[in-house]
Structures are given as structure tokens and as C-alpha cells.
Amino acid sequence: MKSNPLLAEFKTPFSTAPFSKIKNEHFKPAFIEGIKLAKVTIDAITNNNETPTFENTLAALEFGGEKLDRISSIFFNLNSAETSEEIQKIAQEISPILSEFSNDVKLNEPLFKRVKQIYEDKYSLNLTTEQATLLTNSYKSFVRNGANLSEKDKTELRKIDMELSKLKLTFGEHVLAETNDFELHLTDENDLKGLPENTIEAAQLAAKEKNMEGYIFTLDYPSYIPFMTYADNRNLRKKMAIAFGAKAFKNNENDNQQTLLNIVQLRHKRASLLGYKTHAHFVLEERMAENPKIVNDFLEDLLVKAKPAAEEEFKKLSDFAKKDGIKKLQKWDSAYYSEKLKKELFDLEEEQLKPYFKLQNVIEGVFEVANKLYDLVFEEIHTIDKYHEDVKTFKVTDPSGNFIAILYADFFPRKGKRDGAWMTSFKGQWIKGGENSRPHISIVCNFTKPTKTKPSLLTFNEVTTLFHEFGHALHGMLANTTYPSLSGTNVFWDFVELPSQLLENWCYEKEALNLFAKHFETNEPIPMELIDKIKKSSNFLEGMQTLRQLSLGMLDMNYHANDPSNIKNIKEFETLSFKNTQLFPDIKENCMSTSFSHIFQGGYSSGYYSYKWAEVLDADAFALFLENGIFDKSTAQKFKENVLSKGGTDKPMTLYVNFRGKKPNNRALLKRAGLLK
């Protein structure tokens, strides 16, 4: 086993992952060995004859799977950002094995007995807040994973978990395959009318890479979004929109209808087995929102406030398109006419802004914002391994040069990378034996690539995306807790979006924009009038945007807060679910659910509402920054100390109130969104 780099000690700068040495064939043996090592720790804990204590049981358990955790994070991050058929095949083989191991731990009776004994004695133990949280989380985790079940039910639970781990992977593989399968190949230059020069250049490059003439457009966001926003050819927009909405809904080998049904049914079955009414009841027990009623009331309340505004905006947009002879506004007209209306109302279009948002400048800008708020210093380094040549690597320190974190940044789309943007970590943070072991954080995006003549220029939407993911990254980088499972973004799911959504606010502020929004050719700062237009247009079609978010949150709850055994037809179920939020005519070939990766592959099941929930928190939190100054050090310090560095060591509302001095209300959000009448 000596030759397996995943099992050796990482003798690399900052103990970073030795990507260049890792081959696909190393993964499976490393997982098997990692599980073996973790089992040795668990056996040592359960065979310990001493009275169970926090240290000899919970702390030992917390650090017992270090090697396995590290291997898992490296492998599953690659499966998202740099996958291949071989890696996908390993994922399918290894997921059930990991699921079984996880169940072996959670259904280990002697281990649970020890944890339970400590839990029952907790009030006499004089634990710190963090230790008490770890104890409660551990105890609940056993119970929520079947520790109190009969042997028969435990076997059933194992079967369900194994099946679910495979199905979620399959769902994601199908979406990726469908995204990669479609391309719109154009050779007639008339079909390019309306498209910005850099979009055309990127499409030409995509064709060239495939040794083809003309232009290739794909369903990857940097290609799809500009096409839908600017292409004058309505039929081609329709073709793209239908292809995008039909992902994994074509009754072919990549169809996700049955996969999705199997997932929701198994989730429901699992929740019932554990004594919960539905999957949503199970999930929400461990969220700020607590139960489906609170979530549904929250979504309904926002719907009442947003729907009149959305309908008014939709009418305006439809009337505007009528001038162009569009009798009925369709989904493939939405981005196109929104952009034109925005130009008319605010004299602002995306393309005017892009020259001021060169990717390199935006990166330096977000670093400077982090420096002004949290005293972080970023230095690009070239001494550590990366998994793809596109990845940039940074060393993060404090002003005295003390090491804080490693940051990986991966910005451009490619074949082996899933759509969207996310933050993750290759190594967590913890304190052990007096040493504070620092994290390795990664942000992954899919931005417009540089072309022969231009650097990567971001849309304003991509700028806010970068700030969003960087907000998550700060949560990871500034982590300062003892136990890895409570560190960084290991918080309640409806609290995790607060740091990310909060940071987006700086994109709209003159003081922040002046740091990085400079013309890529002349270095001229962004003109004040453009900043004013960005601010003024920030609420543009906010009602429609809100309705869209609410529709997805409600769809998620409809799948997971009810018994799904009555769902016979995915499309019909979805159409019914969207009834109160739908503005555009339905497209029969399309189904959103079959590519709704957030809830069927990622961790957002019964949690999609949390984007809106976190908006309430972020608007309320940013109001304090606005009061004191957006770079006010003491406000930033309060946020860092009470939220960013604390991870999941205490209840989210407690952490929030410690920072803000009061509970949040949705007034700041409604005001910001222009929905307060």
C-alpha cells in the first residue's frame, strides 16, 4: 500500500492534496483502507472498559475518521469539478460501501450506548457550548439514523441508504450527460444577429475545438445565458430553451423521471421508518425553520407580497414585447425582452458593464473587500498541486503573515465539470493537541472563458455569483472551532447561505465597486452613472425573480412534505405545484424536476426555501453595515466572531442575535426588494 499517495502522509506544502500523484486506480483501495482505519478507532472506543467520557468517546469518534474524510473530500470534489466515466464508475461502486460504513457506525449498539450514557449525564459534565453541541448532534445523529430501531428495521434502513446513495449519483450523471449531449451548431452568420462579439468569439472557439466550421452553442451557462438574452432569432431561442428545459426528460437512457420518483419514495419510506410523518418533517427538525408548517407559511407570506408585483411586471414585459409583434410572451422571450426593457427603463444593458468586470480585477476586488473587512491577505502561489491547469491557488494569511487557509479557485466550464457554482473544501479546520489545523477551501464556477482577443469579462450576475461563493469561502477560511464536524459551513442548512448572500451586497456599493470595477483596456474606473444605474435596476423584475424562487421552494416542499406514493406523473405533479406561481405558458416538452439537482443530487431537499430565508437574514444583517459603514471594522469583527468563525458550535439564531443584537424580520428584505407597499 506504500505506493498509494492517498494513504501516505501528504509531504506537500501546507499538506495539500498531491493531485499529480493521484491516479484513478488509487481511489478504491484508499477508501477500503480508510474505512479499515476508521473501524480500528471505533473498535478501540467500544472496547474501552473505562466509563464513557466526552474525551474517550465523542472526541475520539470525532477525529477517528480523519484519513477517510480526506480521501472522500478529494474524490467527491473531483467527481463534481473534473469527472470522467472512470471516476463516475468508481463513485457508483464506492457510494454504497461508504453508505454501509456510515450505517455500521450509526447502528453500532455498544457505541450508541456510550454516547447515550454521556448524553443522559450531560448536565453534570460542565461542558463548553461547543462540546454540548457536539454531544447533542452526535446523540441525535445516532437516533436520526436508526439507533433505536429493531434489527429488522435497521436492515431495511441500510438497504434504503445504499439505494439512495446510488440514485443521487445517477441523477447527477444523467443531468451532466444531457448537458454535454446537446449543441446548437450554426454556420449562417445571420443566425448570430444580436449576439455580443465575445459570445460569438467563444462559440467560434467551441466549434474550432471540435474541428468544426461555424459556431457551437451549448447548455453550459456562459453559452446558454447570453444566447437567450441577446439572440434575435426567436426560433433558435425556442430551440435552446426547449433543450435546456428537457434535460433528463426525454424517455431516453438519461431520463430522470423514475430515478426522481425512486428518490422521493425512498426518502419518505426512510422518514416513516424513523417515526417522522414525511421526509420534510425529518429534515426540518434540524433547521432554523423547524417544521413544514413554518416553511410553508413563510413561502406563502412572501407569495402574497410578491405575486401582485410579479403579475404587474409580467404585464409590463408582455406589453413591451407586443410592440415587437409578440402576441404571447413565452419562456424563450423572457431574458431577451427583460434585457431590452431594462435598457429602455434604465438605459443599461449587461454588455455596457462587462468591460468593467475583468475576472482578474474582480478576484482582486473580492480579496480587497475581505482584507478591509477581515484583515485577510491573499497571495497567488504556484508551489502546490492542482487537479486542472485552469485552477488558481492562493495562500491566505493575516497581516502578520500567520497562515489562515489555502484557497483553490476554478472558474471556467469544461466537459468534466457540472454546471453552476459552489464552494467546498479539500480539508476542514480543527484544533487538536494544541495545534489549529487550517482549512483548504475551494470555489468552483462556470464563467465565460477568455478568448483570443479578450480576457474573461464577467456579466454583473457572474460578479455577484463570485462574491456569493466567496462569502461561503470566508465561512470556511475563517473557521475557528475545535471539532471538524462543527467547523466552517457545517451549520444548519437554512443558515449556511447567510455569509454568501450577505457578501453579494458589496457588489452594489460604490465604495466597493471603485476597488475593482475598472475598464479592462483603459483602466478607467466604472462611471458613477453606471453605478447609479446598477443600484436603480437592482430591483428590476424583483417580483418575478421572487416568484420563481418561491415556486422552486414550493415544488421542493410538495415533493418532500407529503406522501409521494400518489405521484404517478412527474410533469402533471410539477404543473399542479406551479399553478399559483406560474406566469409563462407551459412548455409540454419541458420538466424542471428532472434536472433539479439541488434537491435530488445535492443537499437541498426540503431546504430550497433556505435561499429566501437567508435573504431575510442577509438583508437584516447588511442593514447594520449600512448604518455603520460598509467597511466598518467593528461590525465586520462582530460578524466574524459571532458567525464566520463559530461554524455550527451553537444554535444559528443564538449566533445571529449575538451579532445583531436582535432577531431578524423580513422588513429589510421587502424594502430592499421594493415589495413594501
The string of pLDDT tens digits covering residues 611-644 is 999 999 999 999 999 999 999 999 999 999 999 9
Q: Of 668 and 68, which is predicted with more confidence?
A: 68
Report the distance separating Cα 243 and Cα 195, nearest Å: 19
Q: How far is CA 427 from the centre of its chain?
A: 17
Q: Which residues contact 670 (CB under 8 A, 6 or more apart)?
A: 305, 676
Closest CA to 670 of 626, 625, 615, 627: 615
**Residue 409: its H or E element:** strand 403-410
DSSP, residue by residue, 248-310: T-SSSTT--HHHHHHHHHHHHHHHHHTT-SSHHHHHHTTSTT-SHHHHHHHHHHHHHHHHHHH
**Confidence class for position 602, pLDDT limits 50, 70, 90:** confident
Report the distance separating Cα 447 and Cα 460, nearest Å: 11
Report the distance separating Cα 554 and Cα 118, nearest Å: 40
Strands 403-410 and 184-186: unpaired
- Helices assigned H by DSSP within 561-604: 570-577, 597-600
Q: What is the mean pLDDT of residues 439-448?
A: 96
Dihedral sign, CA of 258, 263, 265, 269? positive
Q: Which residue has the cell 497562515?
A: 403
**Confidence class for position 179, pLDDT limits 50, 70, 90:** very high
* Tens-digit pLDDT profile for residues 484-528: 999 999 999 889 999 999 999 999 999 999 999 999 999 999 999
Q: How far is CA 272 from the centre of its chain?
A: 28
pLDDT at site 677: 65
Closest CA to 428 of 130, 40, 139, 74: 74
Provide the grid cell at 636.
465586520
Report the distance separating Cα 1 and Cα 12, nearest Å: 19
Q: What is the mean pLDDT of residues 140-156?
A: 95
Report the distance separating Cα 388 and Cα 378, nearest Å: 21
Question: CA angle, corner 98, sides to 95 and 102, nearest 5?
Answer: 135
* Domain spans, the chain: 13-106+108-144, 182-245
pLDDT at site 1: 47
Q: Which residues contact 380 (CB under 8 A, 6 or more apart)?
A: 392, 393, 394
What b-and-e string marks burial along 538-567, b requiring 16 or more CB atoms within 10 Å of the CB? bebbbbbebbbbbbbbbbbbbbbbbebeeb
Report the distance separating Cα 447 and Cα 222, nearest Å: 6
Number of C-beta neighbours around residue 51 at 10 A: 11
Q: What is the mean pLDDT of residues 425-429?
A: 97
Closest CA to 379 of 497, 507, 371: 371
Contact of 619 with 302, CB cutoff 8 Å: no
pLDDT at site 667: 83
Question: CA angle, corner 394, sides to 390 and 397, nearest 5?
Answer: 170
**Position 303 pLDDT exceeds 80:** yes
Edge-to-edge order in the sheet of strand 392-397: 377-380, 392-397, 403-410, 440-444, 422-427
Q: Residue 394 forms beta bridges with which residues?
A: 380, 407
Q: Residue type for 133, please?
A: T
* Tens-digit pLDDT profile for residues 467-488: 999 999 999 999 999 999 999 9
Contact of 112 with 103, CB cutoff 8 Å: no
What is the SS3 assignment for 382?
Answer: coil
**Position 351 pLDDT exceeds 90:** no
pLDDT at site 631: 98
Give the pTM: 0.90
**Confidence class for position 431, pLDDT limits 50, 70, 90:** very high
**Confidence class for position 220, pLDDT limits 50, 70, 90:** very high
What is the SS3 assignment for 487?
Answer: coil
Q: How far is CA 140 from the centre of its chain?
A: 25
Report the distance separating Cα 9 and Cα 72, nearest Å: 16
DSSP annotation of 58: I
Contact of 103 with 96, CB cutoff 8 Å: no
Instruction: Write down the mean pLDDT value for the chain.
Output: 95
Q: Which residue has the cell 449556511?
A: 496
**Confidence class for position 676, pLDDT limits 50, 70, 90:** confident
Report the distance separating Cα 179 and Cα 248, nearest Å: 9
Among the ranges 115-119, 349-353, 537-541, which has the highest mean pLDDT value? Answer: 115-119
State the angle between helix axes of 85-106 and 66-81 in degrees (0 to 180), rounded to the nearest 10: 150
What is the SS3 assignment for 71?
Answer: helix
pLDDT at site 2: 58
**Position 168 pLDDT exceeds 90:** yes
Minimum mean pLDDT among 63-77, 458-472, 539-553, 659-673: which range? Answer: 659-673
Provide the grid cell at 189.
452568420
Length of the chain: 677
**Phi, psi at residue 381, to the nearest 5°?**
-125, 155
Closest CA to 430 of 135, 76, 138, 69: 69
Report the distance separating Cα 233 and Cα 193, nearest Å: 7
Contact of 588 with 238, CB cutoff 8 Å: no
Q: Which residue has the cell 422518514?
A: 271
Whole-number Cα distances in Å, 324 to 231, 239, 242, 336: 14, 20, 22, 12
Which percentage of the chain shows pLDDT scores above 90? 94
Catalytic pick among 66, 462, 469, 497: 469
pLDDT at site 349: 85
> Annotated catalytic, 469?
yes
Q: Which residues contact 186 (CB under 8 A, 6 or more apart)?
A: 192, 203, 214, 215, 216, 217, 236
Provide the grid cell at 377.
491577505
Closest CA to 254 of 183, 170, 184: 170
Q: Residue 410 forms beta bridges with which residues?
A: 444
Maximum separation of any 2 CA atoms in the chain, in Å: 82
**Confidence class for position 665, pLDDT limits 50, 70, 90:** confident
Report the distance separating Cα 17 and Cα 537, nearest Å: 43
DSSP annotation of 442: E
Closest CA to 67 of 100, 32, 97, 25: 32
Closest CA to 280 of 558, 566, 491: 558
**Position 670 pLDDT exceeds 90:** no
pLDDT at site 547: 97
- Helices assigned H by DSSP within 323-459: 331-346, 350-353, 359-374
Q: Residue 488 forms beta bridges with which residues?
A: none
- Helices assigned H by DSSP within 58-150: 60-62, 66-81, 85-106, 109-120, 129-144
The end-to-end CA distance of the chain, in Å, is 67
| CATH 1.20.1050.40, domain 13-106+108-144, yes or no | yes
